[in-house]
Every structure is written in structure tokens, then in C-alpha cells.
Structure 1
Amino acid sequence: MHVIVFSPLLTPRIKYIFNFIFKDILKAEVEFTGNREYFLQSEHAKISYAEQPIGDELFFRNTKLLLSNKVEELKIKTTTFGDYTVPFPVEDSTLPFDVFAASFFMLSRYEEYLYKEKSEGNFEAKNSFQYKWKVLKRPIIDEWALILKNMLIKKHPSFKFFQKKFFHQPTINFTLKPDIPTGFFRKTKFIFSSVFNKKQRFISTILEDLTGLGTNPEELINSLEKLKTQPIYFINFIEDAKNRLNYVYSSLVLKDKTVGLLRPCTADYEKSSLLKADLTKLKQTQNSSVNLISQQLEVLQLPSCYLHLLSVGISSDYSMGYANQTGFRAGTCTPFSWYDLQLEKVTSLNVKSYAISDTAIQYQSAGDATTMINDFIDAVKLVDGHFYSSWQLKSLSENAKFKKLKAIFDEMLKST
């Protein structure tokens, strides 16, 4: 048995969000039809998304968002559902709001497209509707999916869903230090030019080591070998316009690890040519076919950022989150395919959303941060979702400055 969905108009948006909720989150097969007779005669579990019900199926009244193919300003009305606010209220429907339009609105980051047209600033958590509706801290789409699952089971007790399990994976990022050239003259020229090259940042890494704030990547990464789930390491490179640096020895610490590209948060860096250059470096450090995965912290500009990733062949991204705020930016704890609202199509870029980062919790007490993270983990476990967290490698060191963050990280691992 599978779910058959009837809609008089089957738009790309409708197919996208129904597939995400039923196939990706709930692990059920979905069939779409616009044929009323075929729908009525079907013996499968039935859902209609229309203006009026057809029979005794689970009926959800539609709103215009999923019927449109434009990105335009919306006058979003809200209602209450349980203990929180929800958008797109409807009447005489299985739920008092259009759960599919609400899910699409969050997952597609619809509001970020509109924000980009009105402001040149970065989109922050406080600008989001989820923040205003007080649902940012919840994987709300997955919670709604669980409600739909229970409704289907109640109406069709024999309906079976495929099993899924809770999954946790931390992502850890750092700047890979280059190998210092061998030979007196080459080494002298390298160090001399580094002193006067502010962009290169090599000397700053040396100063960190001298002051005790530096980290030993090999030592730290080896200490993480004991984790049940191995982290993904995202690395960036010291700027090197003349391409004089190499990473033969420094990259050995990443052998047999899952490694991706960490992209600096500057507008210029989003250019495809620069992405290609760093992907080439990444391939050289790995000495094999590279994992086409990436992460950008602090600033995520949509849709330009994701379009650049697609242009260079990156297939998976871990940037969906807020650097200075915890929560579920896209409203979900399930990986999803990015939907391009400009072209109105599903893309090949798979997005994993992180719920917390060390920069977002750095000013909280260890107790408060640990309690909050445990609440996130419990919420994700409830819906058998994926919990991603983002950390700087130095935050996991034994340095006194990072003692609190290291303790929080260790407590998080105990809960997963």
C-alpha cells in the first residue's frame, strides 16, 4: 500500500513538498494523480489537496502558494495550532492550516528570496518567520509529518512505513596549514613574503602556536577516532594567489577521513572560478577523487551561494543554519534536495541543516548550552531525524580558552 495524492493541478511545488514529507521524512511511497475517477477507485491510502474533498479521504484544503510559479510578496495570515503559531490558515480541512504550503515556505527559504530583493544585508535568524512564530527551535516540518503519519495509520491501520533511525554527525572545520618549503632560499622567501602578505594569514597561525592558542590538528583529529559516528572535516586554505603553497605533509592527518571544502564568507569567494581552484587543491590533498561536499559558515546568501555550488559539481552542502543562533533554519532535521525557486525545479544539491554551532553557544554557560542541546537531540530523536552540529577544530582542544566548549561537545556525544 502507498499514498495516492489527488490534486486538480499538480505543480512542481506540490510534488516537491509531498515527496519530501512522505518519501524523505516518513519513508512511504507516493503516487500523484489529477484523475478523480482513478483516485476514487484506488484502494491505497488517499489524500486530496484541493478546494473540496472528493470522498472520505484525508482532505487538506489548498492555498495559492503551491499553485503559483512566482516568488512574490505574501500577506501571511496565521492561526494557532497547539501551543504555537502557524501560517496559511484554512477552514473545513483535516488541519486548521495548509501544512504543505507552510512546509514548502520554510524548506524553500521563500522569505530569504524576498529579503534579498529588499536588503543587501545578511539574512539573520531574527528576520525569519520561524523566529517570530517561535518554532525555530523545533524540527517543525518533521513534527507535522509525524502528525500526518498518525492520521494515516488511524484511518488505514494496515498501512506500513519503512523504518528510519536517529543519526548524529558533527562537522568540524579548520584552516589547513601549508608545508613550509624546503631549502634555505625558498624557505626564506616564503617566510619573508608571508610577513608582508596580510591576506595569507600564515604568520597569524604561527603566532597562535607561539601564544598557546594554536592547535595540533593531528593530535585533535586522532582523539576523535573513538567517536561512534566519524565527523566530516571541512577545510579551507590560506590564500595563495601565486599558488606557491602545497599541503603534502599537512594533509596526511586527513587520510581516510571524509573531507569537504570550507568556504570563507566573502562575496567574492562565491565566484565559480575560486571554488574550482580550491576544489583542485582539495583533490590534491586527498590524492584521490574528492567528496563533493561543502560548508559555508556565518553567511549563506540564497540563491547565489547554492547556484555557484551546483556550477562546480558540488552535490552536498552543510551550510543551512545560523552561525549566531541555534535552531532549524529550514524547519527540518531531514536532509533535502534544494528547490530552486527561480527555475521552479528540484536540484541535485542535497542540503544537511545544522542545528547548533560553537559560535552560537560560545557565550552561554556550559549548563544552559548542554540543556538546550539535549532538548534539540530529544526533539530530533522523536522524529528519527538527523542531528548535525558544527564546530571549529580549535574549540575541541584542551586549551583553557576552549575548555567550556570542549566540555559541551563531550556532553553532547554522551546524549547521542
Structure 2
Amino acid sequence: MLLVYTHKISPRLKYVFRHICKRILGIEVNFTTQIEAFIAHDSLKMSYTTKQLGNEFFVKSHDILFEQGINDIEIHIHKWENTKCFFYVGEKSTIPFDIFSASFYLLSRYEEYLPHMKDKYGRFTATESLAFNEGFLQQPVVDIWAYKFKAALQKQFPDFEFPKKTYSIQPVIDVPSAYKYKLKGIMRTWGGIIKDILGLRLKSIYTRFLVLSGFQHDPYDTYKYIINRQKKSPFKFLFFFLIGNYTTYDKGINPNKKKYVSLIKHVGDYGAVGLKVSFFAIENLSILKQEKLRMEEIINTSLYASRQSFSKLNLPESYRNLISLEIKEDYTMGYVDHIGFRAGSCTPFLFYDLDYEVQTPLKIVPYHVMDYALLKHRSLLDKRQVLNNIINEVKQVNGMFIPVFHNYTFSDHNRWSGFKELFNIILDSPNAN
């Protein structure tokens, strides 16, 4: 166990030390404000305060972990060996940066509470983030800093054996619309035909006719392929189905249709099923509750995981709503159009409510690449390269790599050419050198 001496034990301090020590490095951590207890401890120990006590392992503290609320914090980015960091505290500190304060800033999504420009869907975008603008979005810096901390601890305590952690993956399959043509109802089907006629999309009209006549598979019906890949993988896929009402933003299948319910149940026999929260349910607790209950009736068990439409988050309200309905995990933390680490970490973490200054039970599982972000890279070779680069970043810190692919990504549409190969690269990555 690591014992941390500090001048004040705050909720923020306990939160971030537990993430770095327990979740990333696998060691227990405790805290004391008593110098006598600190001196008596005969294993891993360090001081985290404003002044070093003697010659102990010491990290000089920044003020952010002892503050409350949101303040305008001045941040200066520095290069630190193979990465970047901020909250420089000087060479007298055993490590020159307060990685705990810097990690808290990123994990709590502090910057998303500050004034910023939103996109047309009301989302915080990658280009507004510190990580994007300072060039470290594609590094899991919190985990990298944790391993630098571990190396420094090992140097001071060479006899201590740290537990070993291994790289893992959590494939996410997002299903905003289970089928392209099937189960859409008469009005939507005729509306689609008229749009195709007006747009002179003759191939679409022909394909729709073949699908609805039963002569051809629906283009979005890729579940047989996905389930076959699931059967060969030791990692359980997580499917998020949209069962919200039809709106301007969400154009899924009516959840009352028996064939759609059967599909969800069938997929649930092989993988795990979560709720894709509809756009209007993100801000409306009563709609969210209705969708949760609807999904629980289908899967016949408690819903444990959610993912929000368009990857939209309104902090802290979005997460508070999930907590109030006892949803345990959320998979929305990431950027639709940029590859990288929105919260700076590739290790799932608990949501810290900055307004209430409390660690919550909601586990945030951040994703690192969405299929749409790979479309920016035109050639398959480029797509492979950027995908392998981000996988290697996660591997180097034994983290959990989380990709988000959609059911239609595995269709034969030219836009998604080569994406089955990219998905296979991810599935094979735990065994690749």
C-alpha cells in the first residue's frame, strides 16, 4: 500500500490518487495528515504537499486539488521526455510536474465546464480542447504520467513488486438504425421511395424493392458477420441499440415491432446489450427513464450501460441523469470526428461531479476511435497506420482500447470499404507484437 502524507485530505485528492494508483497501477493507496503515521509506515510512501518534510519521495502540490468549484486556471504546457505535461512544480519535486492535479483537470473534464463554443448539436468539440490545441490528444497522457510515477517509485523502493496489468479491448457496436429499408413502416417506406425518385437514386429504389421482396439482405443487416467475429473473440462486444421514438435526430426502428425486439434478444445471446440514448432523452429524464424501462423489458435484466446519441454530453446533467436511474457505465466520452483521448486516459474512471465535489458511482468508459474519424484518411493504408498508432499508444500503458463501429460500417457500401479489415486489426491487436 502507498501512504500519502498531505496537509489536507480533499475529495479531489482521494479521487485522482485512486485512479492513478489503484485503477492504472493496481496498488492500494491511503492518506494521512499525521507526520508520525507517515514516518512509521514501512512500505511505499510519499508526501504530496507544498514543502518537502525531509528526503522522502515528494511531489509538490498545485492548488487545484484543494480548491472547490471552477476557477480560471492558467495552464502552461511543457515537453516532458516523450510526452507533454502541465502544472510544473520544479526540480525539487521528485517528479517535476504535479501529475495528480493535471490528471484531475483532464479526468474531471474541467475545461468542459468553462465557457466554450459548441457545434450545431450542442457538443464540446475536440478543437476546443487543451489536448488538441497543445498536440497531445493522441496520447493517453494520464496513463503515461502514471507509469512515469511508477518508475520513480520503483527507483526509490526497488524491493516493492507492482502487480502486472495487460492490454485489453472493448469493441462497441453502435446501432442507431438496425435496418436501412426493413421494418420502417408504410409512411417512411413511401417517403424514402419518393426521396429516391426525386434524387434520381435508381440503385436505391431497386435495392429497396429487392430487400422488401425478400430477395436480398438489408444493407445494414450485418449481424451475422459481427456475431461470427464475436464467437472467435475472447472479448465480449457491447451493442447499443436505439429504441427511442422517431424524431428529427433519431430515425431508428419502432421498438414495438416484434422482429426488432427479436433481433435485440438474438444479439444479446452472443454479446452484451446497452441503451443508445435518444437525442431528446439526453436532456429529458422522463424520456430517458422510459427508454431504460423499455430496454429492460426487452433484455429481461437490469440495464447497466448507455451511450448517448451523437456522442453528446451536457456536463454534469447528462451523467447525473444516468446516476439517478442507476445506470452503471457510460460509453459517450470521446470525439466523433477525432481520434484520441478526450479525458486523457485509456483506463475507465469514475465521474467526479465538480459542482457537488463528490466522486460518483458512474463508470466512464472513454472510446478512442469512431469509424467516422477514420474516414478522414482516404487510403486504406493511411487508415491502417493511424489505427495501429493509437492501438500502440494504449498498448504501451497496458490500457483498454475502445473502438466504436456501427452496424452499417460492415456493409458493402463503398464508403466503408476496408473497414472489416480495420475491425479485424483491432480484434487481433491483443496477440499482435
TM norm structure 1: 0.88
The SS at the match of 2:160 is coil
Map of 1:44 onto structure 2: 43
Q: 1:415 Cα shift?
A: 2.5
**Is 1:219 matched up with 2:224?**
yes
In the alignment, the residues of structure 1 paired with residue 384 and residue 305 of structure 2 have an alpha-carbon distance, to the nearest angstrom, of 28
Specify every segment of 5 or more residues in structure 1 that has no aligned partner in the other structure, as ranges.
181-186, 199-203
Map of 1:150 onto structure 2: 151
In the alignment, the residues of structure 1 paired with residue 218 and residue 381 of structure 2 have an alpha-carbon distance, to the nearest angstrom, of 24
Q: 1:150 Cα shift?
A: 1.1
Map of 2:34 onto structure 1: 35
- Indicate the RMSD between aligned Cα atoms, in angstroms: 2.8
The aligned amino acid for 1:355 is: H
Q: Count residues in correspondence.
A: 399
List per-residue Cα deviations over 1:342-368 (Å, max 9, x = no partner): 110100100111110101111312111
Q: Which has the higher strand share?
A: 1
In the alignment, the residues of structure 2 paired with residue 377 and residue 348 of structure 1 have an alpha-carbon distance, to the nearest angstrom, of 28
Over 3 Å counting, the alpha-carbon distance change for 1:279 and 1:361 in structure 2 is same
Q: Mapping of 1:345-360 within 5 angstroms?
A: 345-360=358-373
List per-residue Cα deviations over 1:297-317 (Å, max 9, x = no partner): 432222121111112111101
The aligned amino acid for 2:111 is: E
The aligned amino acid for 1:171 is: V
Map of 1:183 onto structure 2: none
The aligned amino acid for 1:222 is: I
Over 3 Å counting, the alpha-carbon distance change for 1:334 and 1:221 in structure 2 is same
In the alignment, the residues of structure 2 paired with residue 197 and residue 270 of structure 1 have an alpha-carbon distance, to the nearest angstrom, of 29
**Is 1:295 matched up with 2:296?**
no
List per-residue Cα deviations over 1:160-219 (Å, max 9, x = no partner): 2222211111100114659x9xxxxxx9xx944546899xxxxx9995956987222442
List per-residue Cα deviations over 1:41-99 (Å, max 9, x = no partner): 22122111111111221111111111101211112233332254422111221222211
Map of 2:251 onto structure 1: none
Contact 1:220/1:393 (<8 A) preserved: no
List per-residue Cα deviations over 1:287-345 (Å, max 9, x = no partner): x2133101124322221211111121111011111000000111111111111101101
The aligned amino acid for 1:41 is: A
Map of 1:108 onto structure 2: 108
In the alignment, the residues of structure 2 paired with residue 76 and residue 21 of structure 1 have an alpha-carbon distance, to the nearest angstrom, of 21
**Is 1:285 matched up with 2:317?**
no
Contact 2:339/2:373 (<8 A) preserved: yes
Map of 2:72 onto structure 1: 73
Q: 1:108 Cα shift?
A: 0.6
Map of 1:19 onto structure 2: 18
The SS at the match of 1:66 is helix
List per-residue Cα deviations over 1:117-175 (Å, max 9, x = no partner): x7684211111111122111011111111111111111111112222211111100114
Q: 1:6 Cα shift?
A: 0.5
Over 3 Å counting, the alpha-carbon distance change for 1:401 and 1:376 in structure 2 is closer
Over 3 Å counting, the alpha-carbon distance change for 1:230 and 1:398 in structure 2 is farther
Contact 1:84/1:133 (<8 A) preserved: no
Contact 1:167/1:387 (<8 A) preserved: yes
In the alignment, the residues of structure 1 paired with residue 395 and residue 24 of structure 2 have an alpha-carbon distance, to the nearest angstrom, of 13
**Is 1:318 matched up with 2:331?**
yes
List per-residue Cα deviations over 1:361-413 (Å, max 9, x = no partner): 11312111211221222221221111110000110234444222222222332
Over 3 Å counting, the alpha-carbon distance change for 1:68 and 1:326 in structure 2 is same
**Is 1:397 matched up with 2:403?**
no
Map of 1:361 onto structure 2: 374
In the alignment, the residues of structure 1 paired with residue 59 and residue 287 of structure 2 have an alpha-carbon distance, to the nearest angstrom, of 47
Q: Mapping of 1:368-407 within 5 angstroms?
A: 368-407=382-421
In the alignment, the residues of structure 1 paired with residue 273 and residue 71 of structure 2 have an alpha-carbon distance, to the nearest angstrom, of 38
List per-residue Cα deviations over 1:96-120 (Å, max 9, x = no partner): 221111110011100001136x768
Map of 1:409 onto structure 2: 423
The SS at the match of 1:354 is coil
Report sequence identity in percent: 31
Over 3 Å counting, the alpha-carbon distance change for 1:5 and 1:293 in structure 2 is same
Over 3 Å counting, the alpha-carbon distance change for 1:106 and 1:223 in structure 2 is same
Over 3 Å counting, the alpha-carbon distance change for 1:47 and 1:397 in structure 2 is same
In the alignment, the residues of structure 2 paired with residue 362 and residue 130 of structure 1 have an alpha-carbon distance, to the nearest angstrom, of 21
In the alignment, the residues of structure 2 paired with residue 124 and residue 191 of structure 1 have an alpha-carbon distance, to the nearest angstrom, of 35
Map of 1:95 onto structure 2: 95
Specify every segment of 5 or more residues in structure 2 that has no aligned partner in the other structure, as ranges.
193-203, 248-253
In the alignment, the residues of structure 1 paired with residue 381 and residue 255 of structure 2 have an alpha-carbon distance, to the nearest angstrom, of 46
Contact 1:106/1:331 (<8 A) preserved: yes
The SS at the match of 1:321 is coil
In the alignment, the residues of structure 2 paired with residue 78 and residue 162 of structure 1 have an alpha-carbon distance, to the nearest angstrom, of 31
Q: Mapping of 1:125-140 within 5 angstroms?
A: 125-140=126-141
The aligned amino acid for 1:159 is: F
Contact 1:316/1:349 (<8 A) preserved: yes
Over 3 Å counting, the alpha-carbon distance change for 1:252 and 1:77 in structure 2 is closer
Over 3 Å counting, the alpha-carbon distance change for 1:396 and 1:354 in structure 2 is same
Over 3 Å counting, the alpha-carbon distance change for 1:89 and 1:56 in structure 2 is same
Over 3 Å counting, the alpha-carbon distance change for 1:334 and 1:244 in structure 2 is closer
In the alignment, the residues of structure 1 paired with residue 20 and residue 404 of structure 2 have an alpha-carbon distance, to the nearest angstrom, of 25
In the alignment, the residues of structure 2 paired with residue 50 and residue 334 of structure 1 have an alpha-carbon distance, to the nearest angstrom, of 26
The aligned amino acid for 1:230 is: K
The SS at the match of 1:31 is strand
Q: 1:229 Cα shift?
A: 1.5
TM norm structure 2: 0.84
Moved more, 250-259 or 42-51: 250-259
The SS at the match of 1:319 is coil
